[in-house]
Amino acid sequence: MRSLALALLLAAANPVAAEEIGECRFDRDSLTFAGTPVEQATCLLRKVGPLGERSDQPLPAVFERLLSSGTPPSPTMKEAALAAFPQPYQTFARTYADAPIARTEAGLPALYFVIHDTSTPFYADAPFPRHLDTDWQVNDFAPYMDGTFAREPVAHIFLSRYGQIWAGHEFQEAWRATKLESYVIGVPARGRFLHIETVQPRRYMAGYSDRGHTEGPRPGFSAAQYRQLAALYVYASARAGHWLIPAQHNTVDGGIPDAHDDPQNFELARFAVEVGKLTMTAD
């Protein structure tokens, strides 16, 4: 019923929703957002502020370079990404390094690398722990594995604040983690998006006591998370055979009712620096 109501609301708001959906104009036939890869990334990497408010920001040069190059990641870049992974995920990733990437039921390969934050643990009115990046409760993967939050892991990858990685689903599995995929397009969109959940707790914003008004810590991501997020981006792109278009949960669902507000406090420039370190090498 919820998905039907959402679909009806979208149809009422936009009679041509069958063609383009949301602020970045997703086409339900081609399963792509509007524009060139650089233009898509510019829209999908807009800054996500408090309560999910989006604002323009420049696309870092490294993404302009990669997305307009027309060439896939080199073997050297792929190996640099693999070498950056911690154990035991590194061994796991090497096992699947030459495996095919996810595809839709129509055979379209994964094209989008979507960054999320977990928005958990939730601390209500309590302060965040002093040492977020090493706090065991903040970084515990168990709730994402044991069915606490969902019957199955909600994303392909979970990334802790100290840089450890756990695969909820291997990258070759078509999965969904946005309203665009789950409620608007449905099964045909599965396989077009890869999903990365970064561990980031939440608490109520000052003066509020409802889950619609929450905030993450500042800084939102740790240095280790930016490093591993970059390695995952290069690795997944290498397996795809083309540079994936980086995106965020909030911007993917931009314009869809009740869109999530994550990732909070994501610093695009820091992510770009780490991607640059892995991609400036040459064969």
Q: What is the mean pLDDT of residues 19-36?
A: 95
13 has a pLDDT exceeding 50: no
The residue among 42, 86, 77 whose CA lies nearest residue 242 is 77
Q: What's the confidence (pLDDT) of residue 148? A: 87
Q: What is the mean pLDDT of residues 28-44?
A: 97
Domain boundaries, the chain: 36-279
Q: What's the confidence (pLDDT) of residue 272? A: 98
Q: What is the mean pLDDT of residues 177-191?
A: 96
Q: What is the mean pLDDT of residues 162-180?
A: 97
The residue among 257, 261, 194 whose CA lies nearest residue 17 is 257
11 has a pLDDT exceeding 80: no
Q: Residue type for 77, please?
A: M
Q: Dump pLDDT digits (tens) for 120-134.
A: 999 999 999 999 999
Q: What's the confidence (pLDDT) of residue 15? A: 42
Q: What's the confidence (pLDDT) of residue 281? A: 63
What percent of the chain stands above pLDDT 90?
Answer: 88
Q: What is the mean pLDDT of the chain?
A: 93
Q: Is 0.95 topped by the overall pTM?
A: no
Q: What's the confidence (pLDDT) of residue 30? A: 97
Q: What's the confidence (pLDDT) of residue 90? A: 98
Q: What is the CATH number of domain 36-279?
A: 3.40.80.10
19 has a pLDDT exceeding 70: no
How far apart (Å, rounded) are the C-alpha atoms in residues 74 and 279? 8
| Cβ-contact 253, 179 below 8 angstroms | yes
User: Parallel, antiparallel, or unpaired: how do β-strands 54-55 and 47-48 relate?
Assistant: antiparallel
Judged by DSSP in three states, 132 sits in coil
Q: What's the confidence (pLDDT) of residue 8? A: 39
201 has a pLDDT exceeding 90: yes
Q: What's the confidence (pLDDT) of residue 1? A: 42
**What are 129's two structure tokens?**
């722990």
More confident residue, 220 or 3: 220
Q: What is the mean pLDDT of residues 51-74?
A: 96
The string of DSSP letters for 215-272 reads: E--SSSS-HHHHHHHHHHHHHHHHHHTS--EEEEHHHHTTTSTT---PSTT--HHHHH
228 has a pLDDT exceeding 80: yes
How many alpha carbons lie under 13 Å from residue 215 in its C-beta half-sphere?
15
Instruction: Give residue for tokens 């063609």.
Output: 19
The residue among 93, 109, 105 whose CA lies nearest residue 243 is 109
Q: What is the mean pLDDT of residues 30-59?
A: 97
The DSSP bridge partners found for residue 204 are: 214
